[in-house]
Structures are given as structure tokens and as C-alpha cells.
Amino acid sequence: MMWVDYNITQAGDHFRVEGDWPREVMGEMKDGTKKKTALYKPGDVFIVNEEGWLIKSDHLSAMILKHEKEKQNEL
């Protein structure tokens, strides 16, 4: 899929992709209903490879969630 006509806003080490309306790239229409596709969603984790591709990694997300849950159980 080719995503076109989007802006990338950078602030220091952070950046985000912006569409024509808030949350468009995260799968929402202007009226708040869900789109069929999304570029990313909250909680997604990506690893950048040597060619500059952002590779989605569910393994890393699971590891972080597991670690956070273990920390909460220790309290």
C-alpha cells in the first residue's frame, strides 16, 4: 500500500505522521468512525532496519507489557 500526501512533524528525537485530520493515520475517519486501514495505532512498536524500513514488532510490545505487569505485581 502506498500512503501519500502526509506530513512528518519532528520535535527533537520524536516525530509523527499527520494526515488531513487528527488521527487519520491511526485509522479514523473525520467523523470518528473506523477506517479499514491504519498506518499505525497507539501501542505499536517499530524497529528501524539498515535500509530505513520501520518494521512492526509485536514481540517487543509483549516484552514491555510483561515487564510492566511484573513491576505492578511486585508492589
Q: How many residues are listed for the chain in this entry?
A: 75
Q: What are the backbone dihedrals phi and psi of residue 67, each rounded to the nearest 5 degrees, phi first?
A: -60, -45
Name the grid cell of 15. 516525530
Q: Where are the domains of the chain?
A: 1-42, 43-75
Is-above-0.75 flag for pTM? no
Query: Which residue type is seen at 8?
Result: I
The pLDDT score that the predictor gives to residue 75 is 76
Low-confidence ranges of the chain (pLDDT < 50): none
Contact 15, 9 (CB under 8 A): yes
